[in-house]
Amino acid sequence: MRDSAAPRRADDPGSGERVAFLDQALWRRLAEAEDEHDYLVAWLTLQCRMVSGCQEAVVLLHEQQEGILVPTAAWPESASRAPSEAMSHAVDSAVAQRAGAARSLAEEGRDSLYAVALPVFFDEELEAVVAMEVACPSRELLPEVMRRLQWGTAWLEALLWRRRAEGQAQHRERIEAAFDLLAPLLDARRLRDAADSLTSELASRLGAQRASLGMLRRGRVRVISLSHTAAPDTRMREVRAIAAAMDEALDQEATLVHPPPPGQVLATLSHAEMLSASAVEAVVSVPLFWGEQAVGAITLEFEDASRIDSHLLDVLEAVAAAAAPVLDSRRRNDRWLLGKAWDSLVAGGAALLGPRHLVGKALALLLVALGSFLWFGTGDFRVTSDALIEGSVQRTLAAPFDGYVAEVSVRPGDLVEEGEALARLDATDQELELLHWRGMERQNQLEYERALAEGDRSAVAVAGARLDQATAQADLALEQIRRSTLVAPFDAYVLSGDLSRSVGVAMSRGEPMLELAPLAAYRVVLMVGEQDIDHIESQQSGRLVLASAPEQPLDFEVERITAVSEPGDGENRFRVEGVIEDREDLTRLRPGMEGVAKVMVDERRLAWIWSHRIIDWFRLKLWRWWP
């Protein structure tokens, strides 16, 4: 990669050493960067050295909240971070086209200069743009400039991935803090115990002066727990003020903070009245919702208003989202058994004997008719399972020696012909080794002829042995050079081995590079669950529907059943292999295609077909617990 760096003087013998030392320093700076700016400056300097003729460059990061591109690093470092007008136009074109863009500066009187820009996207969202001004004698050389820029953006993507990972780590920390607060709540079985545990934990862990919890009853909030306090008296003015603040948060279905922070436009009148009657500086209320159903609210009072920040609000909202269903469940379980039974009886009676009792009766008759149909009717019993198309033979092409990827001409999904070149390793070391051994071969040949002329038998034997060694080593180097180009052994389909972005990457001897599968030689692989494998037998017929062509089912025949199970999707599954019956269907298949296969077993009653799984499950449970 240093071959494409800034031009070096051929008559300066120390130039290569200075450039190599500078590259090492830049790589060290890139690896040891402590913040984003140092990382981007080091990366951009290396990137500009890899692009011949680069005049200046800038990296712009996309701020998602503001929706703007912010210049973050520039090269040379003494230059302004703001991109030039030409680079700005190239950046706008690249973002609009969602691809690399180039713009000539000839109209500005700057011949042979081009402004190029390349955007970087994650999950269809713009994350960054790299822009450069490059001196390029011909427009045909711009694709090479863009290609080097694309290779280099992998380091930029690594930084962006790290930034995203840090954000996710902060989110996980907030979730973990929320669940730590919920742990005592989950241990409590009664609503009162759960409420007291929650308010006490919120007050102590979040540094609140007091935490309150209210539950919604008959359209109004009733305070049921105050932190570190016995059962609250709802007749107290202070408790009524807390309940009013909770009602205010529930009515607006939003988290309310008073004094309101910048940007909050919701009403907080009840919170203001509550705050005026207490000795605290700030109060926050979070509503509790389970789906669309309001459950209650949580209110926290703080002596120091600065403790209410975005992190605390995120934790509170996470606690509220997780606590709402638990508290509502505890409230329902706290009712008397007769009350629960009466509610269920009223609900069932209203469905059958109320205004819709005719519909209920009609449904009952329909269920009887359906049961009779299922009991006496018959249908085809078929075993359904996930299916996968695999090549009957798979060939792996591995690196023949330790080297670097020099050229790649195929990617997964390509069709290749027998003898077609697929990839090439850099054989520079082997070529140098070949030259070395050829020289040694000539030298040993001369020594051999000299010893032969002098009649020195021992010298002839030694020189002959060295000559044979040099010849063998030269032949080995020549064979390695020949094998540096990987070719297709047959007409095949490339399964894996995307090396298109790995040019220059080191490969170890024997390391897999490409995986091929021959055309028109496939098999169907079914993963049948252990509850259905007993119904599968060889030579049974089946039908396969692929996700890529659901309108064209394929007929197959079961050929082989593997006796060893493999875990997957929460159950043990057996591998069943089948062959496609119609050979003409093989032309449209590709390895890795997935679908759903059904194997025809026999004809059975519909009631058994639809219920045998649950019946078998009950039998197994009964056998486990039967004394």
Three-state DSSP at 461 gives helix
**pLDDT tops 70 at residue 553:** yes
Give mean pLDDT, residues 603-607.
86
Give mean pLDDT, residues 429-458.
83
Mean pLDDT taken over the chain: 79
pLDDT in the model for residue 173: 67
pLDDT in the model for residue 356: 55
Co-location of 160 and 216 in the same domain? no
Q: What is the DSSP string of 362-408?
A: HHHHHHHHHHHHHHH-EEEEEEEEEEEEEESS-EEEE-SSSEEEEEE
Say how many C-beta atoms besides its own lie within 10 A of residue 627's C-beta: 2
pLDDT in the model for residue 347: 61
R_g (Cα) of the chain, nearest Å? 37
Q: Which domain holds residue 489?
A: 395-516
Q: Does the global pTM surpass 0.75?
A: no
Q: Is 216 within the bounds of a domain?
A: yes
Into how many domains does the chain fold? 4
pLDDT in the model for residue 595: 92
Residues 290 and 150 sit within 8 Å (Cβ to Cβ): no
Q: Is 360 within the bounds of a domain?
A: no
Co-location of 527 and 491 in the same domain? no
Q: Which residue has the higher pLDDT, 601 or 426?
A: 601
Co-location of 209 and 322 in the same domain? yes
Q: By percentage, how much of the chain surpasses pLDDT 70? A: 86
Kindly report which listed range (338-347, 372-381, 527-536) carries the lowest average pLDDT score.
338-347
The CATH code of the domain that includes 508 is 2.40.50.100
**pLDDT tops 60 at residue 5:** no
Kindly report which listed range (18-27, 257-266, 353-362) carries the lowest average pLDDT score.
18-27
Q: Is 368 within the bounds of a domain?
A: no
Distance CA 111, CA 88 (A): 18
Co-location of 484 and 588 in the same domain? no
Q: What is the DSSP string of 23-64?
A: HHHHHHHHHT--SHHHHHHHHHHHHHHHSTTEEEEEEEEEET
The CATH code of the domain that includes 585 is 2.40.30.170
The tokens describing 375, both together, are 């009991």
